[in-house]
Copies of this chain bind each other. A is one copy, B any other.
Amino acid sequence: MPYVWLGEIMKDVAVIGIGMNRWGELWQKSIRDLIAESALLALEDAGIDRVEAMYIGCMSSGLFTDQEHLGAIAPDYTGFCPVPGTRVESACASGGAAFRTAFAHVASGLSDIVMVVGVEKMTDVDGAKATFALATAADQEYEVYNGVTFPGLYAMMANHHMHKYGTTRDQMAQVAVKNHKNGMKNELAQFRTEITIEQVKNAVMVADPLTILDCSPITDGSAAVVLCSMDTAKKLTKKRLVKVVGSGHASDTIQLAQRSDFSSLKSTALAAQQAYKMANRKPADINFAEVHDCFTIAEIMVIEALGFVEAGKGGKATIDGLTAIDGKIPVNASGGLKSKGHPVGATGVAQIVELVKQIRGEAEPGRQVKNANIGLAQNMGGSGASSVVHILEGV
């Protein structure tokens, strides 16, 4: 089983700085503005004035903004030049993949202080072009060519989950209701409005059974974190130290059609298995999680893949309150992709921002998780062809 981590991380790594801008339709800001804004917030939070390398998580700046080479744009426009920058792309898991890459970079000794910026500027193109750009995360030759888009792919997964396990529309809608309730209290979220199960079910249909309120939005936004070796972290910061204790990453077939089962997320299960093993933790040890609720059904399938509940029990657990802010394991206290917004390359980094904020006890009143000591972030690309899982722990 090559996907189960059996090695030894050479250096302990901590997150010492976090930054995130207010997400939404930010017509007045270019992609370089977004990068600089979160980068400088993270630098300020870390209390430092320089980094040694940057990684930029971004899915498709080429198709969204006609600009590749963010690895050069980012250090240049944050004032870090000639520090090196490298863009990492893994569709909607670009942010998580960039964080994992930076984690390995610090653990290797190649640099000591590394910044990760996740960013996507999605509203400079119209809806059709945005849908096309996002569809490049699926199989262009076999899926997209035949007309399927992401709501269509997740709708197939939802229908199969409903058929196989009896998952209901109300259970799926409850994911959106819960996440909007949390997001209302998040000052940086795109949609800070309360919604009801009835509103979700009666909203405009996108791909049966998913309505517009089952779908995460198109968003402009960025998020940034600063990583460094634990030894350096102890010298640099007086804030609570947050250690990266687990990291996992796995793939699945790019085509949904080639999988043996539409109702489970194998790549997430495998990535979680690696992260739990590295952290020497089990699902029951996790205090809270940020997961990839690109569609409501996704959150249900993810909490099953992470082992928080058995396969098929995710919908019922959600409506029963397991993942509510005062539940046994709060999920998406930030509002998730649904309410906070989903600038695809930024999402995975924003999840790490949220984990650190919660572990430090810095979240807004009403959405701060009690005893938030061990947090998990799960970020996913395509219809689950890539999954990245991280576990962070306050020390």
Contacts and interface: CB of A to CB of B under 8 A. Distances in A.
A136 B82 CA distance: 20
A174 to B, nearest CB: 30
B136 A247 contact: no
Contact of A385 (B72, B80, B251): B72
Contacts of A73: 139, 254
Nearest to A258: B76
Contacts of A386: 69, 71-72, 84-85
A48 to B, nearest CB: 11
Interface string A87-108: 1111100000100110111111
A352 B258 CA distance: 34
Contacts of A222: none
A149 interface: no
A147 interface: no
Interface string A368-382: 000000000000011
B252 A83 contact: no
Contact of A110 (B60, B80, B104, B110): B104
Interface residues of A, number: 79
Interface in A6-47: 7-11, 30, 32
A138 B88 CA distance: 18
Instruction: Please list the 5 inter-chain residue pairs (A to B) with the smallest Cβ-Cβ separation, ordered nearest first.
Output: A72-B385, A10-B10, A84-B249, A107-B108, A108-B108
A109 interface: yes
A224 to B, nearest CB: 17
Contacts of A65: 140
Contacts of A382: 69, 72
Interface in A133-151: 133, 136-141, 144
A110 B62 contact: no
Given A10-B11, A108-B105, A89 B76 contact: no
A62 B315 CA distance: 35
Contacts of A67: 136, 140-141
Contacts of A110: 5, 7, 9, 103-104, 107, 247
A210 to B, nearest CB: 21
A243 to B, nearest CB: 15
18 contacts: A2-B51, A2-B52, A2-B83, A9-B109, A53-B249, A62-B133, A62-B136, A66-B132, A66-B140, A67-B136, A69-B254, A69-B385, A71-B90, A72-B251, A76-B254, A89-B89, A101-B105, A105-B108
A230 interface: no
A69 to B, nearest CB: 4
Interface in A356-395: 381-382, 385-386, 388
A73 B105 CA distance: 24
A65 to B, nearest CB: 7
In this complex, which of A63, A75, A81 has the most chain B Cβ atoms within 10 angstroms of its Cβ? A81
A324 B133 CA distance: 45
B251 A9 contact: no
Nearest to A111: B7
Nearest to A30: B141
B253 A81 contact: yes
A71 B83 contact: no
Nearest to A97: B86
